[in-house]
Every structure is written in structure tokens, then in C-alpha cells.
A and B are shown apart, each in its own frame.
Chain A
């Protein structure tokens, strides 16, 4: 078990290195140079050359990458933003909590809506409790999040002004973005919870429990749900990673200072340190969350735990 954990943690290192290399390469072939972006329309060619030189941007690609890695790994310095002159780390420190909050709220909404309804519709399969949520879920799963955000803004802050359209000044500011991110994922979790629950219900031990005359409620909520929970946890874990970095359109729409929009501004402004820092942090978090999901799996299911203890690698 511990060996497995150790190996999985080690695996994050080459993945992060790979991520940094890919992102650095893509940013390098993006047209434009940082100095022009900093200067805007003012400044002469000499100024541009000088600033690019100061930033070290005139050096060959591999030298720049090596330098970046050296500073990041040895000196724990992710660099300084070209546009803000502030350290990348200070920006991340400021924006990460916002992103985590939005993601957590969205997933809370998604799980609180999706999982119970999904379980219910599995238990009451083929009844109205099943078909109605399933149809609704299919519908929500097909909605682009930014469009849902616009519609929510149109209805809940314009027509009926309950929630603010921008910013995160109070808890109310989180409501619309979390709803627009959470509802499509709620739909996904509903579908997942339903099928996972259906599968468990059909298994032999549940049938046995039923045959033995155990009360139906206890069977479903205690025995069946426990086993159906594993795939649900996986999907929540995957979604966490997806929303954390993928909520760009929603962040832009609602003016939320999250990590995703930081990276997007960075891409547009050719602010290489910001893009690198943002994506590396996001990818490390995603990897860690997948690790945690795997561990939870092991905790819940002794069979998997046993498998890890024997030192075998799980197929990802």
C-alpha cells in the first residue's frame, strides 16, 4: 500500500515535467513576443529588443526552458509575471482559493442534486421518478456551461434581480457561476449514480439480503449505496479537475478571478511565466486528486486494497 502510494507520488514528477515542456513549447511557437505585449503601441524597436533581452527571451528555446526548470526546481521560483511584475506564485496564491471555492460549490450542487436523484431513479426504475429526472439530466448534460450562465444571468440577475452578475464580493456572487457549472455536472452524476446503483442492486448479495427479508430502505441506503459510491467518487474526482481548470468561460462571463482565466489572459498576453505556473499548478492538483480518488477506492473496497498490497499496478 505505502509502496504504491510512494510510486504514484513519484509518477507526478515526470508528468509535471512533461506538462511543463509541452506548455513551454506551445507558448514558444505562439506568435508575438513579450516586450511588444508589455509596451502596447508605444516604444521603439530598440526598446522591444532591450526588454526581450532583459526577460531573457532572446535566448534559444532549450536554454530558456532549462533556465525555467532550474529556477522552478532548484530555487522554487516560478518567475515573475511579464504584465504585472508580481511573482507568479503570489498570483496563484490569490486565485487558487477562488477557483477551489467555485469548484467545490459547483460539485456540492452537482452531488447534492445528482447523486440522491440518481439513486432514487435507480431504485424506482421505470417509474416517473426515473424517467423525468433522466430526461432532465440528458437535457442539462447537453447545455454549454457558458450558455447556461448567460441564461441564469438573464433570469436571476436581470429579470428577477436576486443574485449579482459579477464578482465574488459575497457568497451570493458564487451562486450563479456555481449553478451554471454545477447543473451540467449534476446531470452527469445523476446518470452515473443511476447506472452504478442499478448495477449494484442487481448483484447477488443484495438479492440475498432482500430474500432474507431485510428492510428495503436499509438495503438500498446502506449496502447498495456503499458499493455504488465508488464510481461516483471517481467521477467527482475527475470533475474536480475538469472544473478547476476548465471553468474559463464561466469565470470570464461572471468576472471571477480564477486560475483558468489567469491562464487565458496569460496566453493572450504571451505572459509565459503566468501560463506555465498556472497550468503546472493545475496539473499537479489534478494528479493529486486522482491519487486521492484511487486511495479512497482502496479504503472503501478491501479487494483493491489487497491488490495494492501485493504491489501490483492498477490499470489506469
Chain B
């Protein structure tokens, strides 16, 4: 008996010690910032940055993953030929230093920056760019960005020619998202690329530690052609629970955080410790209505009644603590070049909704099925608010909460009645093409069959808008499209999300709508 108890004690001790030891080695902790020490001028300047992401990190292959968590790091480590500034919409040179467009708008000539080099020290060769465009086309999550590219060829050692199948206004935006990878490294790692450290990017930071469950570490690339970054080390740590993340931020474990909206007022008030900023994101959340789901929803008057029953104000309060921006526009107004006056909008008007319902032949109400939403977060809240409003005007429906991952399959296969969803729009109104054109099988959520809609006309307008290079004409086309589209009463834009950034007051940051560029930050 005694032997056994000794054995047990030893076993427990060993597991305890090994536990502490190994975890300490695996996860080098940043010395949590002591708020007092920063007041003394002798305190050494920090060079590291601790950030969090809400989901586990999946892959460092920028052609495989477009998950938001991964993109946070991609933005620091990979670059395209150009970079589109999220705030201004301007294109800034990166791997390419300049570009020219041919008369017909189908040929782009990119002059490469001679100083651009990969993290392993090799200069960027035209073959790497050709390889990266080809590889992107083979990877479905980013293939749409190069779908219109006909050919990529090397003109001379420092010039690349990209030929398009048709002129396309949004090409530059799409092209900025095609990250250039080092052909040799990617081919060497083969199927393993994405799962471990690889020096295949050209950005201001390189991967130094890749651990999908615990987090990633990036180090500043000292040879970066625009000059080495001020902040030398960035750690990304997955924290799924927003409240827990905020506690971690307040404890100094994180330096910059997207705060839960419920706690915003407290954080704003605490000016001696934190700085805060609200930045509108590129994200629009919408309700989509499936006109083929049932006879009631097939009736345009019922759909319009639903449109007038959407209480965006209440959704903003419940879902975003009143901080977000209510919108009637499919694309975030702040980042579009085709800004126009809206023709058809759906304001919250329960009386009008009831009238429309009566006009549709359902004065005593009707059952329209279910509102589908993913569990948790603001979508669920928006769905709950709409559920109540619909019931108040006599439209009966259920709420159907499903896993985030199941939402898009259901949308694709038209397996829903009403659904709430949203998209981040990069670039301008032409982004509507990738969401609503009938050729985009993976992205169309409503089938505009000819019985009720002029689907061909909707498609034609999107196509015309995509190739029109003249800004004024584009605006006209998109205005016509938008009116037609809104008249179908199949998709109601509601909220333009905002990012509620909060950060350590000693950190100098530039906040963007979606992804930070930590190269511009410093302590």
C-alpha cells in the first residue's frame, strides 16, 4: 500500500512538473505589460505585440484558406503585386512598383520592384508570379480572383504582362488578393505547405512559429524592401469567447482587441488605460428571402411586407449595442466608387407591411416557414428581432438556428425560407457580381427564374457594370441594377458592421475596416 501511494505521489509530481515545464517552453509569454512601469521614462520600449483571433488558425497557405483568423496573419506576411488600402480604396505599389493598362482595358503591364525579396532572401522572379497566379487559379477559395485572367507572361526580367479575358473594372481589387509565393519553397513542401513554417512570402513579417491550436508567431523581416517594421514580434492566440478575450485584454495579455459591443461604454470611459475607435467594416448583413420556398414567399407582396417589417434600429441596438450603421445599400458606402441615390428602400413600417399582407390576400396572417441563422452572435439576434416583428404583423414563422458551417451549404442549395447572412465587400459595387451573378453557382442564394423575375436582365446589368471602365456610366448601370434587384424583394440589406477597436494607450495604431497592417504600428 505504501509503495503504491509513493508511486502515485511521484507520478502526480512528475506530471505536474512536466506540465509546467513544457507549457512554459511551448508558449513563450510576453511579459504582461505593467501599466505603472510605462510611466517611468526609463522603461524599455516594447517590441512585441499580442493579438487574438476568434477561431483556431487553420493554414498558412493563402491560396487554401480565406478564413478571417488566418487572413489577419496573411496580411502581415504575404503581398500581392499591389495593395488596396482599405481606408482610402487607393492602390499602393508592393511587389510591383508601377503598372499600365492598355487601351482596350484587357492588358496590364506590371513593373516589378527590384528590391522585393522573399523571406528566405531570394529576389522575387517573374516565374514566381506566374506560378502564384496559376496556383491561385487551382485553389477554389481564391480562384474567383483570377477567373478573368487569360494569361500571365514574362516580358523581361522585371516586367509581367497579365491579359484578361474581358475588361474588368474590379480586376485591380481582385489582383491585390492574389498573394505571391516562392515557387521553390511551396513545391519543396508540397502537400505540407500551409501546415508548418515556410519562408515563402514577401511581407514585412515572416512566420517563426506555426501551431494551429495554440497560436502563431511572426517576426519582423529585417530585409523588408520598404524598411523593417517597428514591431518585431507578433503573437496570434485563438480566443473563442469574447468576454474571456476582453478579460485577457484588460489583464494586459493582449495589446489590441475587437471589444464585445456590450462592454464598449466601459472601455471608452477608461481613457487613462485604453484608446478606442469605431471603424465601419466592409461588412453588410442582410436578410435573404427564398421566393421558391413556399406559395406565400412566392408572392412579391408578402416579401415586400417582410421588407417593411425589418426593424433595423432594434437590430442595431440588440446586436451591436446601437454602435453599427444602419444601411439600405448592398455595398458599404464608405468603400465604393459607384455611390448613387437609392431608388427602392424598405423602411420599418409595420402598418404598411400589414397593408401589403392584406393586399397579398393574407389579411389574417400567413405562415412563411422559418428564419435560418447561425447560432450565436449578431445574426442570431437579428433573426430573433425579425421573428418578433413578423409575428406582430401576423406573419408566422419559426427560428432555425444552425451551425455556422452549415449556413452556406443550405443557402447554396436553396434550402431555406428566410435567412440572415452577410458578406465583406472588397472594392466596389462590382463585387455584387461575385455574389449574385447566376454563373457564380457557389455564391448565388436566390435563383431568379424567369417566371417572376427577369434574371437575364439582372445578369446582363452585372456583366455590363463589371466591364464598364467609365465611373459615371458604371454608376448608372449599378443604379438600374440596384433598383431592379431591390424590387425583387429577395434581399434586404440591414446593417453595416462596425469594428470596436480597443488598444493599449501606449501603442500607436492605424485602424482599418477589416485587417490591421501592423507594419504601420509602433510602440
Contacting residue for A44 out of B16, B23, B243, B442, CB 8 A? B442
A95 vs B238: C-alpha distance when bound (angstroms): 14
Inter-subunit contact B29/A255 (CB<8 Å): no
Contacts of A86 in B (CB 8 A): 195, 212
Q: Tell yes or no: B19 within 8 A of A by CB.
A: yes
Interface: A41 (CB within 8 A): yes
- List residues of chain A with CB within 8 A of the CB of B141: 38-40, 42-43
B104 is an interface residue with CB less than 8 A from chain A? no
Q: Which of A7-15, A124-132, A158-166, A277-285 contacts B (4 or more CB under 8 A)?
A: A158-166
Chain A binding surface, main DSSP class: helix
Task: Give chain A nearest CB distance to B57 CB in angstroms.
Answer: 9
Q: With an 8 A cutoff between CB atoms, is B144 at the interface? A: yes
Given contacts A42-B442, A94-B211, contact A101 B405 (CB under 8 A): no
The answer to whether A40 and B12 have CB atoms under 8 Å apart is no
Q: Which residues of B contact A50 (CB under 8 A)?
A: 140
**Neighbouring B residues of A299 by C-beta, 8 Å:** 4
Residues of B57-96 contacting chain A, CB below 8 A: 58-59, 61, 64, 66-67
A153-B247, A165-B244, A166-B253 as given contacts; A265 in contact with B442, CB under 8 Å: no
For residue A300, CB closer than 8 A to chain B, the reply is: yes
A36 at the interface (CB under 8 A from B): yes
8 A Cβ contacts from B20-43 to A: 20, 22-24, 27, 29
Is A270 in the interface zone, CB < 8 Å from B? yes
> B423 in the interface, Cβ–Cβ < 8 Å?
yes
Decide if A108 is an interface residue (CB 8 Å cutoff). yes
Selected contact of A36 from candidates B1, B195, B214, B408, CB within 8 Å:
B408
Contact present for A47 and B248 (CB under 8 Å): no
Whether A165 touches B248, Cβ cut-off 8 Å, given contacts A170-B29, A268-B403, is yes
Chain B residue contacts of A85, Cβ below 8 A = 59, 61, 64, 191, 194-195
**A234 at interface (Cβ–Cβ under 8 A)?**
no
Q: Mark A81-107, 1 if CB is under 8 A from B, else 0.
A: 001111000110011011011001100
The smallest beta-carbon distance between A168 and chain B, in angstroms, is 6
B404 within 8 A of A: yes
Given A39-B442, A44-B441, A104-B15, also A166-B241 (CB < 8 A): yes
In the bound complex, residues from chain A placing their C-beta under 8 Å from that of B121 are none
A47–chain B nearest beta-carbon distance, Å:
4
Is residue A208 within 8 Å, beta carbon to beta carbon, of the partner chain?
no
For A100, list chain B residues within 8 Å (CB): 15
Q: Answer yes or no: A195 CB below 8 A from chain B CBs.
A: no
Nearest-neighbor residue (CB-CB) of A269 within chain B: B405
**Which residues of chain B are within 8 angstroms of A164 by Cβ–Cβ distance?**
247-248, 251, 253
| A157, CB-defined interface residue at 8 Å | yes
Point out the residues of chain A lying under 8 angstroms from B46, CB to CB: none
Which residues of chain A are near B23, meaning CB under 8 Å?
Answer: 101, 168-171, 173
Contacting pair A42 B245 (CB below 8 A) = no
B58 touches A37 (CB 8 A): no
Distance from B276 Cβ to chain A, minimum over Cβ atoms (Å): 19
Asked whether B213 lies within 8 Å of A94 as measured between CB atoms, the reply is: yes
| Beta-carbon nearest neighbor of A112 in chain B | B12
In angstroms, Cα B59 to Cα A41, docked, is 17
CB distance from A277 to the nearest CB of B (A): 14
Closest residue on chain B to residue A86 by CB atoms? B195
Interface residue total, chain B, C-beta cutoff 8 A: 56
Residues facing B in A190-229 (CB within 8 A) are: 226
Question: Are A48 and B29 in touch, CB under 8 angstroms?
Answer: no
B6 → A minimal CB distance (Å): 14
Q: Which bracket fits the contact residues of A?
A: 35 or more
Question: Chain A residues near B441 (CB, 8 Å)?
Answer: 44-46
Contact A300 B12 (CB under 8 A): no
CB neighbours (8 Å) of A44 from chain B are 140, 440-442
Cβ 8 A contact of A42, one of B15, B24, B144: B144
B239 interfacial contact with A, CB 8 Å: yes
Kindly state whether residue B142 has any CB partner on chain A within 8 Å. yes
A41 vs B423: C-alpha distance when bound (angstroms): 9
Partner of A168, one of B16, B27, B251, B442: B27
Task: Report the separation of the CA atoms of residues A284 and B161 in the bound assembly, to the nearest whole angstrom.
Answer: 58
A32 to B413, CA, bound (A): 10
Q: Which residue of A lies closest to B251 (CB)?
A: A161
With a cutoff of 8 Å between Cβ atoms, the chain A residues found around residue B4 in the complex are: 296, 299-300
Query: For residue B67, which residues in chain A have a CB less than 8 angstroms away from its CB?
Result: 40
Interface residues of A in 45-60 (CB under 8 A from B): 45-48, 50-51
Is A167 part of the binding interface, using a Cβ–Cβ cutoff of 8 Å?
Answer: yes
CB of A140 within 8 Å of the partner chain: no
Contact present for A166 and B29 (CB under 8 Å):
no
Query: How far does the Cβ of A155 sit from chain B's closest Cβ, in whole Å?
Result: 11
Binary interface profile of B, 1-16, with partner A (CB < 8 Å = 1, else 0)?
1001000000010011
Residues of A near B406 (CB, < 8 A) are 31-32
Bound-complex Cα distance A171 to B20 (A): 6
Task: Give the docked Cα–Cα distance between A83 and B27 (Å).
Answer: 23
B405, A37: Cβ atoms closer than 8 Å: yes
9 contacts between A and B (CB under 8 A): A44-B441, A85-B195, A94-B212, A158-B250, A166-B239, A168-B27, A169-B253, A255-B238, A269-B405
Q: Nearest 4 A-B pairs (CB), nearest first?
A: A257-B213, A47-B140, A165-B247, A43-B140
Given contacts A100-B15, A161-B247, 14 further A-B contacts (CB under 8 A): A37-B405, A42-B141, A48-B140, A51-B140, A86-B195, A104-B12, A104-B19, A158-B247, A167-B248, A170-B29, A171-B19, A253-B241, A257-B214, A257-B238
